[in-house]
Amino acid sequence: MKKVKTWMKISDVLSDFQDKINTSLGRETSSEWNKRVLKEYCVYLRGLSVQGLPEILNEIQDTWNSGLYQDFVWAFGERKMESRPLTFEELAHNKLSTLAATNLPSTGFNTLMSGKTDLNLFRAMGPMIEAIYHLNSGRAFNWEDMLNLAFSDLETRLIFALNRFDEVKEVPEPTAEFFQKLKETSMTSEQTKNLEEKIGLVLIHIEGEIFGMGFENSVEDYWPTMSLFIQFLAACSAVQHNREEIVNEDIIRAYRTFFKLIKTDVTQYKADPELVRDMDEDNPDYEDVIVCKNCGSYYKLEPGESVDDFESCHCGGELKQVHDERT
């Protein structure tokens, strides 16, 4: 995190300069402001009658006091690969990812504003799990790590079992129907939006306490990814309870899942040997593939072929061509 630490030094210099001015004028410093606002948000949240919220606030306090939250955020910024990335064709072996890519809409930069469950929310799982994996391994990802991250059943466990991800014996098979239900979920209740926002602000101000003011600007992708991840888990919770509306209990369950996850050694979740049997670190293949929106089956296109040459999948599902932009 050399770049991050450089930005932090610059931020600290600017913050110190501003604090000297504020002190000379009898105003509160940035650190004093951060402590005050953090306390106000915590008092506000503890005054709400939301089942499970006190336990979440206790989890936040415990992970902060233990240093775990600090280590996790550092791991998010430090994660890196020492092997090549997986190709689209290789990732097409992951049925969960192909079903998500072919059934969830891509809202783009409007994801956080729309409140809709889209592909960006699903993709936030990857970086968060990578950070926890790095937190446990303490090194750059090698080829085996890349396969474990992409082809273990951890993501499926999170989606279907949430805070019981480590307890289930049989993980349900992902289906197109599940993702079609998922894309209909949204967070429209102002009460629920307020709950999610305030818990998030508590974490932002804790980061200020740990790393100094301006830290959230130094790791620009951490906070949006974290927020998307929580919203995605909450949406999965809503679907599991046959609801399209994300409610307070879904936010609580999402945070329960998150804090349990960062306390778990996720390196124990290994890639399915059958899925990765023919994958070779030294033999990347960046061909185009077509995937089925219904069952997740894939087919590598031969030179000159396109999705237009095929009517439908063997299951009757619609086909979509996926192109690897790295070619």
Q: Are 315 and 294 in contact (CB under 8 A)?
A: yes
Q: What percent of the chain has pLDDT over 90?
A: 55
| C-alpha span between 305 and 288 (Å, rounded) | 9
pLDDT at 287 over 70: no
Only one residue has tokens 């894309």, namely 183
Q: Where are the domains of the chain?
A: 2-276, 289-322
User: What share of the chain in percent tops pLDDT 70?
Assistant: 82
Statement: residue 16 has pLDDT above 70: no
Higher-confidence position of 305 and 152 = 152
Q: How far apart are the first and last CA of the chain?
A: 29
| pLDDT (0 to 100) of residue 289 | 72
What does the block give as tokens for 255?
Answer: 């945070």
Per-residue pLDDT band for 247 (boundaries 50, 70, 90) equals very high
User: Residue 21: which H helix or E strand, with range?
Assistant: helix 2-24
Q: Is the pLDDT of residue 10 over 90?
A: no
Residues 41 and 201: beta-carbon distance below 8 Å: yes
Q: How confident is the model at residue 213 (pLDDT cuts 50, 70, 90)?
A: low
Closest CA to 275 of 66, 17, 89, 63: 89
Considering 78-82, 145-149, 211-215, 279-283, the range whose residues carry the highest mean pLDDT is 145-149
Reported confidence tier of residue 303, pLDDT bands at 50, 70, 90: confident
> Distance between CA 231 and CA 35 in Å, rounded?
27
CA distances (Å), 193 to each of 57, 111, 114, 245, 284, in order?
17, 14, 12, 12, 43
Give the closest residue to 156 by CA, choosing from 144, 174, 135: 174
150 or 275: which carries more pLDDT confidence? 150
Who's near 132: CB < 8 A, 6+ residues apart? 72, 75, 261, 262, 264, 266
C-alpha distance from residue 132 to each of 58, 125, 221, 259 (Å): 20, 11, 16, 11
113-129: pLDDT as tens digits: 566 789 999 999 999 99
Q: What is the mean pLDDT of the chain?
A: 85
Mean pLDDT of the 8-13 span: 48
Query: Would you state the pLDDT for residue 193?
Result: 94
The owner of tokens 């804090």 is 259
321 sits in which H/E element? strand 319-322
Provide CB contacts within 8 A for 125, sequence distance 6+.
155, 158, 229, 232
Q: Tell me the pLDDT tens digit for each residue of 152-207.
A: 999 999 999 999 999 999 999 999 999 999 999 999 999 999 999 999 999 999 98
Closest to 258 in 3D by CA, of 170, 327, 163: 163
Give ∠ CA 157-158-161 in degrees, rounded to 5. 70
Residue-by-residue DSSP string for 64-114: HHHTHHHHHHHHHHH--BSSPPPPHHHHTT-HHHHHHHHHS---GGGHHHH
Average pLDDT score over residue span 27-42: 90
Question: Do you know the residue count of the chain?
Answer: 327
Q: Which pLDDT belongs to residue 109?
A: 54
